[in-house]
Structure 1
Amino acid sequence: MEKSKCKVCVTGGADDRSKVDFLKSFPDADTRLVLFEADIYEPNKTEASIAAAKSIVMSCVRSRSVKRLIYTASVVSSSPLNEDGSGFKDYIDETCWTPLNLSFAYTNSNLTILSYGTNSDIGELEMVTLALGVVGGDTLLSYTPLSLAMFISPLTNGEFTYQALRFLEELLGKLPIVHIDDVCEAHIFCMEQPSISGRFLCANSYVSSAEMANYYQQNYPELHVKQEYLNGPKREIKWGNTKLIKKGFEYKYDTKMILDDCINCARKNGDLPSPDNN
């Protein structure tokens, strides 16, 4: 990518001053980074968010110079739930779509499902949707991202973040997880392909919250996992995200590496005590 002459536009990367300063700290940002202020209506309203996404797509089409649009989405839209909510399919892959208007044991008011498929209106523009699992690993940010807080919630007893984790588990059967480094590499991979389009799930592991908690208990006993976090539903659902792999993408981080990096990052940020403090 350092040798590439193409221009890449990233939206939603500068929501506040701290994120703008972070972007400006990148190597060669003084000559290669250009920031624009854009108004996408009121992003807290679903209708406005959908309209904004469609507006971006059509702007790319009208430009006649944009080759590919990569939409970073979430596997929240890819639940293997049956349409009537009676149970789960025995697999989860890119053919799964979350049924609408269903209630769940754990609620999350921020659930938004946005799908904008390839159609004749977008002409030759290549559309790629990367539906990310729960993103873990390290962070260069000065604060702990929500997804990382969800990973360590069985250790911090954070009620909101643990409820968010359980909500995803009830929605998706288990938890698709992925390392931030693999997320970045997946985006670069999709940018560098001669031609690519379609919907891809991006995660390298599919575990339950109880499996995560048990891993913490076995490998970090000094952090004291509550007994209630060690038990949970056991669902035999297969993770079938092979589309990216079939395209040639290789994940570098497995479950152990993802969870270990979450612990190390949380300790670095002061969210969990270091081994020396126990």
Structure 2
Amino acid sequence: MNSAAASPLRPRRPAWAGRNYSLLALAAFVTTLGSNGALIASAFAVLETGGDGGDVGLVAASRTLTLVLFLLVGGAVADRLPRHHVMVAANALNFLSQGAFALLVLTGKPELWQMMLLSALGGTGQAFFNPAAEGMLMSSVDREQASRAFALFRMAMSGAAVGGAALGGAMVAAVGPGWVLAVDAVAFAVAGALRSFLDVSHIAPREPGGGLLSDMRDGWQEFIGRPWLWGIVAQFSVVVAVVGAADAVFGPLVARDSLGGPGPWGLALGAFGVGTVAGAFLMMRWKPRRLLLAGTLCVFP
């Protein structure tokens, strides 16, 4: 008998998807799975403590505000320190803040200011994590495969978003939001552990630059000097604000009052994730001549 045929079937990964890419994808899959459930859990945690739509919005805005405020700083830090160290430290901060949020919800009645503070800490961790993660992902594959690698990565994350939202909504309905927040905290701990095993021996040490403020000023000049870049950022500022308001505030309120609670809202967010999976799959097959323009226009539908 052919030994290959007798061996268990194993999913084959692309030849270009090496160890670092696999670790990064797995870690991101875990955190995306947990975070999409936590998005539902945090909203219903506020509502279950007697909060209203305004309180839900304040907790969500606390995370977004610190994310925006510290993103430029996070980018400068990611250019000065080893990216994998920044990623692990950010995961540790998210683990601690989300774990404390879960503990408050599970053991008592959390105050609004406490939930806002912990949400803000979570946004701070994400602000430092995102720039480091993007650079690390691109360094894990050859330049020729970057587009395909990113599309496959986004498709996997979108799949995790589908499962995380649907499972998170069901868990909030079954066991309450506190346990879903606890699962998200554990997901950050697992992801941080996975990212600590990244092999960075092939990455050349970066030359020391100027001071942190100087790097931030240079980054800002590079940003405003490219109209296509700040134009897209302006567009997505509106898009993210609208989608974020629906995801974090209006959706949970409508679900509570008219749809039957967190379970149906999880399914609704899962349906959004199905669309992102389809879009990522399309981008792996379709190579438009003006890729950025096509992606920008596809936001509207």
Structure in which a larger fraction of residues adopt helix: 2
Structure with the larger RCO, 1 or 2 (CA within 8 Å, 6+ apart): 2
TM-score, normalised to structure 1, is: 0.26
TM-score, normalised to structure 2, is: 0.24
